[in-house]
Amino acid sequence: MTQEPTTEQTVAHTVAEGVARLSWAPDEPVDVVRREVAAALATHARVEALVDPDDEAAQRVATWSGMRREGIMRGVTVDGSPVDRIVYARLASDVPVHEPEGFRALLNSFLPRKRAIAQLLARDTDDRVLLCQLTYKQDWDLPGGVVEVGESPHVAVAREVEEELGLTLPAGPLVLTDWLPPWSGWDDALCLVFDGGAHDASVLEQVVRQEREIRSAEFCTLEQVDERCADFTARRVRSALAGLRGDGPAYTESGR
């Protein structure tokens, strides 16, 4: 059994004020667990379960009993050894699952989430590309950043450019969607590159760097892009420029 503690039936234990933790036997029907969730919420504000990430059956029971997936609790001690557990929980204040909003919230809790990055392809009148030298890595990159939860990527890229460079550069149409595979501790992500327009090189005189993240900003030739950027970034820049001309792909993976 993947729950703590192993039992012969569904049991709710009070683990903190207003919090009940549920465990159940491996073959316990979902409707039994669902009833125990409701019973526990009659006397607790929260009912939760800790589920083994390798136990898909227990994950299904937790979900269809009405508990939302909240995340991974790392290093939980079970039988003297640290293990990871998925935290599922339901609050007494949650919208009932039989109502559309409650059902959507339940689905939303376990469906995949993908990180989005918004970048701006801004050029000068000599077709050089605006790049930023970053403080937290050696290679250069297009201006932009991570899209916040609930934020439009189109809004995010303009916000990031203003925060990092002090420039107001409206974002134009999307020119490239580039998928980035998992790498060096990062989950995979979608990088959305927007047309940043062509500007006089003197626009750099208006830059006010966010010194915590930006060392410098410069319009660069494609040769400099290849020298200064990671290979996948250089490929993304070239693919985005081709998309801007109308003879490139709309979608790439690591710039390819």
Q: Are 125 and 245 within one domain?
A: yes
Instruction: Assess if residue 4 is contained within a domain.
Output: no
Distance CA 110, CA 121 (A): 34
Instruction: Assess if residue 130 is contained within a domain.
Output: yes
Instruction: Assess if residue 240 is contained within a domain.
Output: yes
Total length of the chain: 256
The predicted pLDDT at position 203 comes to: 96
The predicted pLDDT at position 38 comes to: 96
Confidence bin at 5 (pLDDT 50/70/90): very low
Distance CA 209, CA 165 (A): 5
Q: What is the domain-level CATH number for residue 240?
A: 3.90.79.10
Q: Examine the fold and report which residue of 60, 78, 110 is the final residue of a domain before the chain moves on.
A: 110
The predicted pLDDT at position 7 comes to: 42
Q: 74-123: per-residue pLDDT in tens?
A: 999 988 999 999 999 999 999 999 999 999 999 999 999 899 999 999 99
Pairing of strands 19-23, 46-51: parallel
pTM: 0.84
Q: Are 87 and 149 within one domain?
A: no
Locate all alpha helices (DSSP H) within the chain, ordered by sequence: 30-41, 56-64, 100-110, 153-165, 222-228, 231-245
Q: What is the domain-level CATH number for residue 89?
A: 3.40.630.30
Q: Are 173 and 213 within one domain?
A: yes
Instruction: Assess if residue 6 is contained within a domain.
Output: no
Instruction: Name the domain count of the chain.
Output: 2
Q: Which residues constitute the domain of residue 145? A: 115-253
